[in-house]
Amino acid sequence: MGLVRSLSSFIVLLSFLIAVNGQGTRVGFYSTTCPSVETIVRSTVTSHFGLDPKIAPGLLRMHFHDCFVQGCDGSVLLSGPNSERTAGANLNLRGFEVIDDAKKQLEVACPGVVSCADILALAARDSVALTKGQSWQVPTGRRDGRVSLATNVNNLPSPSESVANQQRKFAAFRLNTRDLVALVGGHTIGTAACGFFSNRIFNSTGNTADPTMDQTFVPQLQQLCPQNGDGSNRVDLDNGSGNTFDTSFFNNLSRGRGILQSDNVLWTTPATRPIVQEFMTSRVNFNVQFARSMVKMSNIGVKTGVNGEIRRICSAVN
């Protein structure tokens, strides 16, 4: 029964991905112009992941941050004064060297063909697969944007965001509540700096500030994030399983072990709690929905055709 259910879910997912054509993107866009693109990106991500597994959540987060600011156009990859990379929300992004490495190899294999935005979308998918998540087909054909401004980085949900505010920000990109919960589920891998949630574990007297947290878990967090520290220490967003793409993140939410307030409220809010409960009990459902939601997200505001450019290097416009 488990195999049949998995195959059925896979067929549904495959049918959905085949039907998706985004805004000009499609699966197999480079099949004749650069057939080795996915192999090169995958091998590059795998190589860097072998040296530092934290690259995986870094690339996934970077793709999210790219798409939520001016669409999925690789603008987050551009460097320079006042670029998106200099915005507060992006200061801790990591994985730029992975994209640069893949681009360098692709410029040898297929000069001027593959966009940096597509490399990032493929690398995010490969990061999930490397952490034992389910892979999916990525529609490609994006072109790179030429504008990157820190002042445009204002759509990203904050670590203290309510569900209502998160829904509003996701809805602006035609992502629904189910997409929201699935994509936040990407926090099953990666870490958060103590400064983003210290207000939940300490109040002015040094005691627990948030009664919705598991009170047996708080001392562990307080030890990892001392009240007199600078807030730079990092903690797994998915306690006990921070390196594996699984459903334990949702189980932790149900136990009061969500690290960020914006994660925790997915369990305490009626609009999202049933979806969390579903993903807790079905890894297949979570994997299928995550892939669907990633495909939807990766087609936000994409530039295709004559819009944008194919950068020669990902950190600078041509």
Please list the active-site residues.
65
73 has binding-site annotation = yes
Residue 195, annotated ligand binder? Answer: no
Copy the structure tokens of residue 243.
């390196």
The verdict on whether residue 188 carries a ligand-binding annotation is yes
Strands (E), 49-170: none
Taking CA atoms, 303 is separated from 186, 215, 281, 306, in Å, by 25, 48, 38, 8
Helix (H, G, I), strand (E, B) or coil at 315: coil
Do the annotations mark residue 242 as ligand-binding? no
DSSP string, 216-238: TTHHHHHHHS-TTS-S--EEESS
Write a three-state SS string for 138-205: CCECCEECCCCCHHHCCCCCCCCCCHHHHHHHHHCCCCCHHHHHHHHHHHHCCEEEHHHCHHHHCCCC
Query: How far apart are the C-alpha atoms of 303 and 194, rounded to whole Å?
Result: 37
**Alpha carbon distance 115, 137 (integer Å):** 17
Query: Does the annotation list 63 as a binding residue?
Result: no
d(CA 101, CA 99) in angstroms, rounded, equals: 5
Please tell me whether 187 is known to bind a ligand: yes
Q: Is 66 annotated as a binding residue?
A: yes
d(CA 64, CA 169): 13
Ligand-binding annotation for 75, yes or no, is yes
Is 69 annotated to bind ligand?
A: yes
- Which residues are documented as binding site for Ca(2+)? 66, 69, 71, 73, 75, 84, 188, 238, 246
- Which residues are documented as binding site for heme b? 187
- Which residues are documented as binding site? 66, 69, 71, 73, 75, 84, 157, 187-188, 238, 246
